[in-house]
Structure 1
Amino acid sequence: MDKPHAVIIGVGDGLSASVARELAQDHTLTLAARSPDKMRDLAAETGAETVLLDATDEAGVAALFDALPRPPRVVVYNPSMRVRGPVAELDADEVRRAVEVTAIGAFLAGKHAARRMLDTEPVDGCRGTILFTGASAGVKGFPQSAPFAMGKFAQRGLAESMARELHPKGIHVAWINIDGAILNPGVSEPADRPGSKLRPEAIARTYRHLIEQDRSAWTHEIAVRPWVETF
């Protein structure tokens, strides 16, 4: 039997790479990102196909999903954009671009993933899983980080609305609140706070758990945080 297919949009060397390695065990993969450099080594390691993509370009997103040999079983949306600064000094065009990447791109991925998934027969009641990588900024806005909060709040609302619409149709949608800093390559933990950063391979196992959940107990939102994180 052919392996199910997973699409990961927004690929880097941290969380998305760990999710790709986790899913490559039993899925074929398509990786999408703006830069080929971010995907080259990971694609060679996982056997993934790669697509150059601006996640805010609907024609490009639609083409990505239309080119898949079959509807995807898993779609993960990772991109986001941060613009920092006092709200009275922020550039409106930069803010608009940040919200487009974080929220509009998520909408486009969700739209075209759902379009393809709805055109397939469910397996054990599930047509597929769509996961959005969120952040604590989606539940609490931080000072001098308004654009990131705007994008993540919008993304969270998108995921909840999609879940209410699509769960009854057999598509599992969930938003993952990454509530803490990730221990990405090149990042270290403070000597006095060991274990204070989220390990990307551990987060990837949470994505796996969501993908494998029984539909009688689907989660539409989950938070992951280090054991020392305050909340």
Structure 2
Amino acid sequence: MRSMASSISSKGIAAIVGVGPKLGRSIAHKFAHEGYTVAILARDLGRLSRFAEEIAREEKAQVFAIRIDCSDSRSVKEAFEGVLSLGFVEVLVYNAYQPVPWRPTNFTDIPLDSFYKSLAVSSIGAFLCAQQVLPGMVERRRGTILFTGCAASLNGIAGFTELCCGKFALRALCQCLAREFQPLGVHVAHVIIDGIIGPSRGLTVTQRGLVGEQQQSGRAEEGSTMMDPDSLAQTYWHLHVQDRTGWTQEIDLRPSPSRFY
């Protein structure tokens, strides 16, 4: 766990689970910019620590990097012992997912352990993380939990059984938690990302190139219909600060087709 500043924010902790070079990092940047102490969690602690240093430096914020394996209940418990030791977790963003091949996989060729892993990361990990933070939110009658979904959350897709089953379960979890905990002051929402997320427009040319190298080939051309993660992060922030008289439970985000530009 890395500390990058001198004192914990009075606003509470924003815990971002599943922080990679695009959306997770942009969400962490946004909440740090708004004055939150941020805990960023993912499996690759080395890369995560570099993100923590970058965010802390640029946003003048307190940032902690904590390793987590969302498919392992013991890892989730240990990670959140660290997060909760920082103070009250006011915001949980669950952005973790298990990468799957971009090309369709025949159903009969899907290994059972691969199917289990996708379910574990997409939905069971979300269940475990939410269990860690909800008691504190209910006690204070405030808090926000945001789950990241995708087009596979809504429709079964031939050849993508692992992804769809995990994301369907995540959406169901979100709806159950919203109905149980929103009357207790906790805002729970599901964000459907229906598109390909590209590098942040806020990155330097060199940084954009490095992120672009990590993209799966053959999906989309940069600058066509890719979604800017910084813009998406603005929506996560908007959901968090919504007035409780008009809370959003689910929102879908997609890029405007390039032919309309």
Return the structure number with greater helix share. 2
Unaligned 5+ runs, structure 1: none
Alignment: residue pair count: 222
Alignment-derived partner of residue 204 in structure 1: 233
| Mapped contact 1:183–1:189 kept (Cα < 8 A) | no
Q: Percent sequence identity over matched residues?
A: 35
Unaligned 5+ runs, structure 2: 1-8, 57-62, 200-210
| Mapped contact 2:67–2:79 kept (Cα < 8 A) | no
> Are 1:77 and 2:94 counterparts?
yes
Alignment-derived partner of residue 20 in structure 1: 28
| Mapped contact 1:5–1:29 kept (Cα < 8 A) | yes
* Structure 1 position 64, deviation (Å): 3.0
Task: Tell me the TM-score normalised to structure 2 length.
Answer: 0.80
Report 1:3-152 matches (<5 A). 3-25=11-33, 26-47=35-56, 48-67=63-82, 68=84, 69-84=86-101, 85-119=105-139, 121-122=140-141, 127-152=142-167
Q: State the distance in 1 between where 2:78 and 2:114 align.
A: 27
Q: Tell me which amino acid in the other structure corresponds to 2:52.
A: A
Alignment-derived partner of residue 228 in structure 1: 257
Structure 2 counterpart SS, 1:216 = helix
Q: Tell me which amino acid in the other structure corresponds to 1:220.
A: Q
| Mapped contact 1:11–1:33 kept (Cα < 8 A) | yes
Q: State the distance in 2 between where 1:82 and 1:12 align.
A: 12
Structure 2 counterpart SS, 1:73 = strand
Structure 1 counterpart SS, 2:71 = coil
Q: Which moved more, 1:58-67 or 1:156-165?
A: 58-67
* Structure 1 position 10, deviation (Å): 1.1
Structure 2 counterpart SS, 1:37 = helix
* Structure 1 position 205, deviation (Å): 0.3
Q: Tell me which amino acid in the other structure corresponds to 1:160.
A: Q
Structure 2 counterpart SS, 1:227 = coil
Q: State the distance in 2 between where 1:34 and 1:95 align.
A: 19
Q: State the distance in 2 between where 1:88 and 1:56 align.
A: 23
* Structure 1 position 65, deviation (Å): 2.9
- Cα-Cα RMSD: 1.8
